[in-house]
Amino acid sequence: MNILMLSSTFPYPPSRSGTEIRTFNLLRYLQARHSITLVTQRHAGVSEEDVATLRQYVDELVIFPLREDIHVTGGLTQWLGKGKRFIQSIANGIPPNVLHRYSPDIQAWVDDRVKAGKFDAIACEHSVNTIYIRPSFPSTVRTVVNVHSSVYGGTLKDLQTGASKNVLRDRLYLSLLYRYEQNYCSKFSSIVATTEDDRQQLLELSPRAHLCVIPNGVDLELFPYRSIDPGCHRLIFVGAMDSSHNIDAACFFASEVLPALQQRYPDATFSIVGTCPSPAVLALGEMKGVIVTGQVPSVVKQLHAATVCVVPLRTGFGIKNKTLEAMAAGVPVVGSDRGLEGLAVDGAGVPLRALRANRIDEYVEAISRLFEDARLREQLSQNARSLIEEEFTWERAGALYEQVLLGTFCY
């Protein structure tokens, strides 16, 4: 099968965010069985080595430039650009991030190849790429969007729970996001979500859509099961530390949970591991017991050295790679509802695989249980690893995604 994959996000190296990880691993699985053409956009952080390596995983790599002002971090140019995009977005019914990444050159390239019948299927990796799919495409080629998560659903929940960082902006965009997601759903033969919550959210927008759930996976070779339990009182949180939901989680835990925990365990430490720590995250390193590492040579070594991995997310939706990777590595997890979304970790008939916490006192009690009970740590460690091996490998996710692209997936 000849497959066109559209990914505005450059998917290599697969370490910058969940989008890159999911896209790259699905691509790698499919490339071993099908002919893959990848159309992507390159930003300033992509090296020639990155490009050369990615070419090894596709039959054809087509690169277009990404508008560089998307990376501007301040000043008049940024604010003027935001204002212009807001007006254009309202006029066109397209979210600003989609409109800003849109490339007429990519559109022309896609239109030409689809008209020529070059592909059997088109896979849009993330909903930002749905703009390139014409309503007429499904009549001649199978179209699939791998949405990762519903942006409308996530924004709505942030507003409902008080987690929104910009309430005015999110309220203004909510109806726009609703219309955009509802409209793009009708252009696809199949829609892939990562959790059942997102599937249900998208079904509300488009009840007739063919929707399936394919969760993320873990590369078990990169995240081997740890050989020993280090004991001690070391906590770890992993993620890209320039992402708003990770910044919020790190600040919440370091400022509110850790001091309460240190009243019981004065030697407790909290390592914040991840690339590009924001100024707010870097400032946490001045607090007692907080270690901000920035990028590290090996995340799994950091995980193996920790007693407990915390996933204290209060915003952000969809299944979390950071949670899956910690569970694969055999590190007991204490996570919020957001951090454990899409995972059966507790409840009737379910082996205990992680401890759940949302309030400060719940985090303190759950972590204290694990600090005090080596048998409980071992139980969570073994049960979580078994879950990952059975249900959350990239081989399993890739095989299901292949079925969707072939049109043989059983809904």
Per-residue pLDDT tens digits for 219-254: 999 999 999 999 999 999 999 898 888 999 999 999
Number of domains the chain contains: 2
Same domain, 249 and 352: yes
Assigned domain for 294 exists: yes
Same domain, 199 and 238: no
Same domain, 189 and 247: no
Nearest to 236 by CA among 94, 331, 135: 331
Output the domain CATH number for residue 62.
Answer: 3.40.50.2000
Residue numbers of the domain that contains 45: 2-217+393-406
Same domain, 38 and 164: yes
Is 166 buried (19+), middle (13-18) or exposed (0-12) by CB count in 10 A?
Answer: exposed
Same domain, 62 and 113: yes
Same domain, 285 and 397: no
Q: What is the pLDDT of residue 88?
A: 65
Cis peptide before 13 (omega within 30 of 0): yes
Assigned domain for 223 exists: no
Same domain, 181 and 294: no
SS3 63: strand
Assigned domain for 225 exists: no
d(CA 390, CA 409) in angstroms, rounded, equals 19
Give me the helix-helix angle, 374-391 and 360-372, nearest 10°: 100
Same domain, 28 and 128: yes
Quickly state the pLDDT bin for 344 (edges 50, 70, 90).
very high
Q: Is 90 exceeded by the pLDDT of residue 184?
A: no
Quickly state the pLDDT bin for 79 (edges 50, 70, 90).
low
Nearest to 321 by CA among 227, 229, 225, 239: 239
What does pTM read for this prediction?
Answer: 0.84
Nearest to 391 by CA among 236, 147, 215, 263: 215
d(CA 171, CA 156) in angstroms, rounded, equals 9
SS3 151: helix
Assigned domain for 227 exists: no
d(CA 372, CA 313) in angstroms, rounded, equals 24
d(CA 2, CA 145) in angstroms, rounded, equals 16
SS3 71: helix
240's CB contacts (< 8 A; 6+ apart) are: 16, 17, 246, 274, 275, 276
Q: Is 70 exceeded by the pLDDT of residue 132?
A: yes
Assigned domain for 69 exists: yes
Same domain, 400 and 379: no
Assigned domain for 252 exists: yes
Same domain, 101 and 200: yes
Assigned domain for 229 exists: no
Quickly state the pLDDT bin for 72 (edges 50, 70, 90).
very low
The beta strands (E) that lie in 105-205 are given as 121-125, 142-148, 190-193
Lowest mean pLDDT among 114-123, 206-215, 233-242: 206-215
Amino acid type, 242 = D
pLDDT tens by residue, 2-19: 999 999 999 998 876 778
Q: What is the pLDDT of residue 228?
A: 94
The beta strands (E) that lie in 208-278 are given as 211-213, 234-238, 269-273
Question: Cα 144 to the chain's mean position, in Å?
Answer: 18
Same domain, 380 and 401: no
pLDDT tens by residue, 25-51: 999 999 999 999 999 999 888 999 999
Same domain, 7 and 148: yes
Assigned domain for 197 exists: yes
